[in-house]
Homo-oligomer: A and B are copies of this chain.
């Protein structure tokens, strides 16, 4: 196979075994790779009803057909598990260099199951996959761990937060990139898995090299011609979004009690640059380079982190924002969730000083703070639901669903809870990409959120950076995939695969106990009437209808058939006939 390596590695840490299988052709045909392929493997390896931290539930790392090629922004890969924060299937799309290296090592998928008796790390060098002791690494932060391992290859690892099963724990790769949200670090920790180090020397073969090269040139042109990508992001990194949202008058603050933040200019892209002298730290094959460090290579926060530790907690001190961001990276923590935990905690215990804020963050990283298992659960347990900003346990980031109505539907219907990355409606509603939609209306948003969710599932499966969406469309993606692999996907078929992936994730979540009543927003967003609840609920019902789901949010038989999704049980039954 071109594009795909055809190699799936299964590591069972429970019995210390490494086995390999051929990646099934029909899996990648139907689910592409990355998030989609992992979603398919979850059906084989995971039990939706089991505790996410139970050894049986897998942690799955997948590359996509485009990962590691010279397609712009193709250094991405996926990490997937049942999340201990949301109890849903949870894929993250991760940047850096680790994904490309895993591809060079010849791996489509790395399925990790079981729990090691003692801390271990997995070492991959092309065909060799070894499980090695990691007791000397346990307790070390992510920077130390990476430094100790990186002579052997690219490193992904957890910090202390993952070790202590904090539900906001990330996996950190290549020093400064991290696995989004959802507590993947805790899943690794629950398996006693400290790190994975990978080195690969294989070349990626291309079916139609000339056409593929042309497509790459075109994608680069599109990216450089797109101002949000080539001007905004290229100049200041993602921190430019704070300026944009502030300009649009929708920068939520103080745990969403406010919709504007007075001193936002102190946290602007320009201010960040003046203070830290930003240096681009682009992911593999990225012409934009939204990630930034200082001249010493130390990370500088991106928008999500600036928002979480800035406006969200009423802080306009950019130095403090960066300290908290660095602390999260060291411990392997998701800044959005940590910031949201602090913001909620500040409502319960007012007058917390900024010094105390650092203490709380440290306690979260150490696994000793009340909110470690998730802010949503903690607030429920003390009867303070009114401070909660989470959907399905995942706190909403700094894109206000009251002001960007498409985000309200996107958050409510995302398979991973309050994530902005399931359908980034900020693209159309704020940046006007690929088209400008009125952000204060629900009109037509049900169908568009659905479209962006499916398109995002495609991008997460190819795997490319979500920011490609600001300039490149599904027709171009299909051409790139076809010229790489020799397959013949139409753009429609790609989107259909995205729809298949999204529905399969939904099926998992339903089995995990998610109900239609969970497809909503916390009360805080309805309280001031900016979101009219009837209209919101009507739009959700429209969304179900467009999805081919019944009023309970359950996919109709006909839809599952159309998407060629059948339950494992049925499949076994039919193969036994």
Contacts and interface: CB of A to CB of B under 8 A. Distances in A.
Contact of A446 (B227, B432, B444, B491): B444
Given A451-B435, A473-B435, A475-B432, A444 B546 contact: yes
B491 A436 contact: yes
B433 A473 contact: yes
Contacts of A20: none
A433 B475 CA distance: 9
Interface in A220-243: 221-222, 224-225, 227
A320 interface: no
Contact of A438 (B221, B431, B434, B492): B492
A384 interface: no
Contacts of A225: 218, 221-222, 225
B436 A474 contact: yes
A448 interface: yes
Copies of this chain held together in the complex: 2
A346 interface: no
6 contacts: A432-B491, A434-B473, A435-B455, A436-B495, A441-B546, A444-B450
Most buried by B among A435, A455, A491: A435
Interface string A97-128: 00000000000000000000000000000000
B475 A227 contact: yes
A227 B119 CA distance: 53
Interface of A: 218, 221-222, 224-225, 227, 431-438, 441, 443-448, 450-451, 455, 473-476, 491-492, 495, 545-546
A410 to B, nearest CB: 14
Contacts of A444: 444, 446-448, 450-451, 546
Contacts of A492: 436, 438
Nearest to A217: B225
Nearest to A475: B432
Contacts of A445: 447
A464 to B, nearest CB: 16
Contact of A434 (B218, B435, B450, B545): B435
A245 to B, nearest CB: 15
Given A437-B451, A546-B444, A431 B475 contact: yes
Contacts of A435: 434-435, 451, 455, 473-474
A415 to B, nearest CB: 20
A473 B437 contact: no
A441 B496 CA distance: 14
A222 B222 CA distance: 7
Nearest to A444: B447
Nearest to A499: B438
Contacts of A546: 441, 443-444
Nearest to A231: B218
A473 B222 CA distance: 13
Contact of A443 (B227, B447, B491): B447
Nearest to A446: B444
Contacts of A450: 443-444
A227 B435 CA distance: 18
A435 to B, nearest CB: 5
A495 B227 CA distance: 19
Closest 7 CB pairs of A and B: A444-B447, A434-B434, A221-B225, A443-B546, A432-B475, A222-B225, A443-B447
Most buried by B among A224, A431, A451, A545: A451
